[in-house]
Structure 1
């Protein structure tokens, strides 16, 4: 067994700052996750913040989530399950990649079953509706905005006035909201955000535990402030754009608060077991490696399918957008991924 596997105790320096980090990380995490949600809900704030700011945060957050999956989860998992402190049997197969693969297919199957179940329920009610709201179903083949324009044009072309066109808009909004209020679309969105949150929360607890016992505390602490803020911004931007019935309005706020609490919980737990917890032990490496591998699969699937593909390939608004808007959205996403990947140099 190598020297790095021998536990000699964790450092007891910077105890005050380590305790303070619980509250500092909590504040930065919650601000990053909650601000987009609360800003979208507050009419005074949302009226003064251009829509482009929310769009920038949304695309930036997509890049952050994808980079987190690869750089901050799968990379460390490979190191953890490849540790010399583990039994040699762990070295005969790329277990992190295998676990990530299982995670991707598991999440895909869960979402597929949920989607089919929800679609079948709507079909029995005589309603055709895309549970993801991307305009692929027959009712919304051109997206809600295109349907609205067609209804307005038809109302005016038939000799109606502008009021009649407005009434057509209202009727469309009422019909669309009625479908959403059935709960199937809401359920699909809640399942999607729950999957994303689950992967991020596992990661947040582990990095909090690591921060509490890490020898290079100061560097890791500063990096994690930015890490948690950017990751929170990515989560918050997705939560802010959820279209849920009024009875589910608490879900985005609850999810944002939960994200803000998980890393501090991990730090507090790490401080509690700091004198006995060995981050290089076989048990610690296996637990962290397996959880990181599974979480990476969750975030990879969510980032590539739910965020990237649905936002760019299956979104009618984006397909019809100008080249400038598309280039800007892609740049925001690449910037988010790039900054998060750069932070992987230290954390």
Structure 2
């Protein structure tokens, strides 16, 4: 007998068209509802708790959720998006041309600069519009006593002090404030929409994978925690949005939409389970490109909108106590560490 026959040969990648794994079908269906509850609860709880008059959540716990969520989002970008994008676009199922260049990193870079240019253009337009109304926009929150406005952060401040004896200017001042609030609301909604867009693409893709992956049990357990933590990150940003009364529904709608993304992905995956194989060349390209693009969105959002604005450009943080700073950084590192650890299995 040839001794070479006893040597283990690595399994060849499954590049052929056709369905993925179809075992545990009942549990895969149940996962739609389990993950729906977990992710929606994680996103909705901070929003509802912040608004509730009956549930008194300590401010320290809200701060923990906010900074913990920032760490979760940053870890998601690098560990759960960029790494899978690199793996997908280096798949053995792809033609050799895909291995000639780090396409995943290039797409991530393109995404970062695209978001930067879009946001820069939007804020130049917004600043010019506010200048005509006699207002200025401080995107980094340098003004003392100013309020949060840009994405998660940012500030709008009046250029000139009001005179108490000029009562005829009250209506004009009210008009200016209404414009200020509308621009404030628009900036916050755009910032959160960018964040949710990046997370939503990722959530749909992992839902598709969960529906047909052969390592379903491990992936399912990990994704329950993954989506709940990520929901907490999204929800903590939504809870701190300062919007006019008529736009108060936006954070709730955004939280519900986040909760639906992964279950929708699972449902679609189960619907096409007989034909969808995540290992095929087409599936690898689609998931790799979308993961790389989403990674860029979350890297930009996490490092610029969350980390820089929360710490470097936040007067409350820069002038606050050392204990508050340590608590906030520790909360962020904990969220980052836990989410990075989950990357060991998913």
TM-score normalized by the length of structure 2: 0.87
Per-residue CA distance 1:181-240 (angstroms, 9 max, x = gap): 541111111110000000000000000000000101111000000000000000000000
Match of 1:23 in 2: 33
**After the TM superposition, which residues 9-158 of structure 1 pair with which residues of structure 2 at under 5 Å, given as runs?**
9-45=19-55, 48-130=56-138, 132=139, 134-136=140-142, 141-144=143-146
Q: Secondary structure at the match of 1:49?
A: coil
Please tell me whether the aligned partners of residues 34 and 256 of structure 1 are also in contact (alpha carbons under 8 angstroms): yes
Q: CA deviation at 1:142?
A: 1.4
Match of 1:166 in 2: none
**Matched residues in 2 for 1:8 and 1:202: separation?**
23
Q: How many residues align?
A: 313
Match of 2:258 in 1: 259
**Matched residues in 1 for 2:290 and 2:62: separation?**
31
Structure 2 residue 213 is matched with structure 1 residue 214: yes
**Matched residues in 2 for 1:32 and 1:43: separation?**
19
Q: CA deviation at 1:276?
A: 1.0
Structure 2 residue 314 is matched with structure 1 residue 288: no
**Matched residues in 1 for 2:307 and 2:341: separation?**
20
Distance 1:85 1:185, change over 3 A: same
Q: Secondary structure at the match of 2:146?
A: helix
**Matched residues in 2 for 1:60 and 1:72: separation?**
17
**Matched residues in 2 for 1:300 and 1:311: separation?**
15
Match of 2:157 in 1: none
Deviates more, 1:243-252 or 1:30-39: 243-252
Q: CA deviation at 1:341?
A: 0.2
Match of 1:328 in 2: 327
**Matched residues in 2 for 1:325 and 1:289: separation?**
39
**Matched residues in 1 for 2:13 and 2:289: separation?**
24
**Matched residues in 1 for 2:308 and 2:20: separation?**
44
Q: CA deviation at 1:129?
A: 3.0
**Matched residues in 2 for 1:104 and 1:278: separation?**
30
Please tell me whether the aligned partners of residues 62 and 307 of structure 1 are also in contact (alpha carbons under 8 angstroms): yes
In structure 1, stretches of 5+ residues that fail to align are: 146-170
Deviates more, 1:178-187 or 1:258-267: 178-187
Q: CA deviation at 1:9?
A: 4.2
Structure 2 residue 275 is matched with structure 1 residue 276: yes
Distance 1:261 1:59, change over 3 A: same
**Matched residues in 1 for 2:226 and 2:306: separation?**
20
Q: Secondary structure at the match of 1:4?
A: coil
Please tell me whether the aligned partners of residues 195 and 298 of structure 1 are also in contact (alpha carbons under 8 angstroms): yes
Match of 1:154 in 2: none
| Richer in helix (by share) | 1
Please tell me whether the aligned partners of residues 2 and 85 of structure 1 are also in contact (alpha carbons under 8 angstroms): no
Q: CA deviation at 1:247?
A: 1.8
Q: Secondary structure at the match of 1:13?
A: coil
**Matched residues in 2 for 1:3 and 1:330: separation?**
42
Structure 2 residue 337 is matched with structure 1 residue 307: no
Per-residue CA distance 1:277-296 (angstroms, 9 max, x = gap): 11110000000000000000
Q: CA deviation at 1:4?
A: 2.9
**Matched residues in 2 for 1:195 and 1:82: separation?**
27
Q: Secondary structure at the match of 1:144?
A: coil
